[in-house]
Structure 1
């Protein structure tokens, strides 16, 4: 199966998005832990002596400082030692334990983030194919008269050999049922869409005259009816939280399936799903690899980025830009099998999409500076 079905850029973007969510959650955990430490040293006017108020304030400040210093290390709970004040030590260690455990849970979700995208894409892919089959069945039931023009869309669907093969392919039907995909509870919706978008519509003549018109008609229905802005697209968006991002990949896979069905090699069609699974596994491995590298080296990367951006106002550096830099460094330093220029160009382009107007140039400049220093 061609690599273009699941672009590597899509994998990098998913890594960025999920790393961003993880980083925000990490900041929340830090804030919650600090707030709890402060509560541990709140002066109680009913229980504490007036002279203790200042002591508690200083203790809270000291405890917060110790906590922040500890989480700046690779192993906070392992490296933290404080013997001067037992109360401070217990408060800090308790919140360090909470913080570390919360991050472990978040890292588990982070590593599974790419598989969530896979599940959404599979879901919509199967729903779309089954919707085409449902419309094929409707077109066959209300079969056009022989006098009806060949360019009527319902006649084209009723006579579409690819949909006929899908409808009668028992192995594919098993895949559908295995994934719990069905339009049974939405038959009214399916029929309404059929009447609205198929029944009275004409297929474009350019598609009808094409040598592969069976494929082209299905491409037309997918692109200009199902995936265009409207009720069907909105329905799919309710099924997939990231539909706008996933739509392009689903479309590519569908076109690949249509072309494969046109060859009538149904053994290859069945094998396709296994191959697609293998491709997802390969990309999932890359996704996990770069995120693991970033998490394990985040302190080192922070130092490298900080050294290269000393003249910049730290508060003006976008979080997305910093995360893009970390992902780029992970790939450039540790993934030697990927061409150097490919990695740099990919992250510059991603920065243009997800950062500010100046992010692309910023990423390029910082990476050049860091890599030049490390090379020397």
Structure 2
């Protein structure tokens, strides 16, 4: 589930910190990388938990209204589609979900006002009104309702993004990536799987974890080699004036190009150019594109890299 785009971003950040730290401990850098990736996986569960929390809040509201001293007819006979939503019931009972939260407890209690306001917005929406108007929603109706709600109220929600960034420093990047995986998870759910419905794993396979550690190590161990290639290509520039983040991005990009035969060089170039657009100066992506393109052409001419 932690895809290589997010791994690349984390490695650039870890190596940037590596050079800022006077006590350069590679083992500690590896631990920091895996910890940061673990926190990104926590966010996946935290967003799944948000849907459960919204449902529980609605249940509490309904129960509170029923127990009023003089409840109205609507208080006594509320719409219970949200409470009886089969998709949320399945998620709440999910073994993998509960095991993970048992090992790594998390809660939305500190953000109760935010959750309350989001529930108000959901209940006032056309999406909810159409859902509430259904006579007897089936499993697909229930799942589709939450897919729409997630897309409309949670995905790319700036207020939520700000809250998450304040909650955890490791959530300031890749929020949108994790949110897309929650949407994929909703789509993947099947009623017949019950509580054993599989959630997305932290890594697609062990290969991605190995990729992360190998890329980190190679980028650090072969610093001199990659910087020499960059310096040779930037003979018209003042090498010492290259933005530090640009240097880190190019160093990691070259580590990937040299180390992983199965990843096309063009893919690596595109991914790190995209990283430069968000993490360096406005002109960095163009600069990095030119330098890396020149380096790749040269090492291909010299047969210094082999690609499958």
TM-score (norm 1): 0.64
Instruction: Decide whether aligned partners of structure 1 residues 187 and 371 sit closer, same or farther in structure 2, where only a CA change above 3 A counts.
Output: closer
Q: Distance in 1 between matches of 2:264 and 2:92?
A: 44
Give per-residue Cα distances to partners, 1:340-363, cap 9 Å, x unaligned.
221222222322333334323322
What's the counterpart of residue 162 of structure 1?
87
What's the counterpart of residue 18 of structure 1?
14
Deviation at 1:162, TM superposition (A): 0.3
Q: What is the aligned length?
A: 285
Structure 2: tracts of 5 or more residues without a match: 67-72, 303-308
Q: Distance in 1 between matches of 2:191 and 2:47?
A: 21
What's the counterpart of residue 119 of structure 1?
38
Q: Which has the higher contact order (CA 8 A, sep 6+)?
A: 2
Deviation at 1:312, TM superposition (A): 0.4
- Contact preservation (8 Å) 1:352, 1:360: yes
Report 1:194-343 matches (<5 A): 196-203=120-127, 212-226=140-154, 228-230=157-159, 232-266=160-194, 269-270=197-198, 272=199, 276-279=201-204, 281-343=206-268
Instruction: Decide whether aligned partners of structure 1 residues 207 and 295 sit closer, same or farther in structure 2, where only a CA change above 3 A counts.
Output: farther
Q: Distance in 2 between matches of 1:118 and 1:166?
A: 23
Q: What is the root-mean-square deviation in Å for CA atoms of aligned residues?
A: 3.4
Give per-residue Cα distances to partners, 1:199-241, cap 9 Å, x unaligned.
55542678889994423322333344345233x5544333221
Give per-residue Cα distances to partners, 1:220-266, cap 9 Å, x unaligned.
33344345233x55443332214342321321221222123244323
Q: Is residue 9 from structure 1 mapped to residue 17 from structure 2 by the alignment?
A: no
Give per-residue Cα distances to partners, 1:28-57, cap 9 Å, x unaligned.
x3xxxxxxxxxxxxxxxxxxxxxxxxxxxx
Determine helix, strand or coil for the equivalent of 1:10: helix
Instruction: Decide whether aligned partners of structure 1 residues 132 and 369 sit closer, same or farther in structure 2, where only a CA change above 3 A counts.
Output: closer
Instruction: Decide whether aligned partners of structure 1 residues 357 and 115 sit closer, same or farther in structure 2, where only a CA change above 3 A counts.
Output: same
Instruction: Decide whether aligned partners of structure 1 residues 198 and 371 sit closer, same or farther in structure 2, where only a CA change above 3 A counts.
Output: closer
What's the counterpart of residue 47 of structure 2?
128
Q: Distance in 1 between matches of 2:111 and 2:230?
A: 55
What's the counterpart of residue 45 of structure 1?
none
Q: Distance in 1 between matches of 2:177 and 2:2?
A: 7
Deviation at 1:22, TM superposition (A): 1.3
Q: Distance in 1 between matches of 2:268 and 2:276?
A: 12
Structure 1: tracts of 5 or more residues without a match: 30-101
Q: Which 10-residue stretch deviates more, 240-249 or 204-213?
A: 204-213
TM-score (norm 2): 0.76
What's the counterpart of residue 103 of structure 1?
24
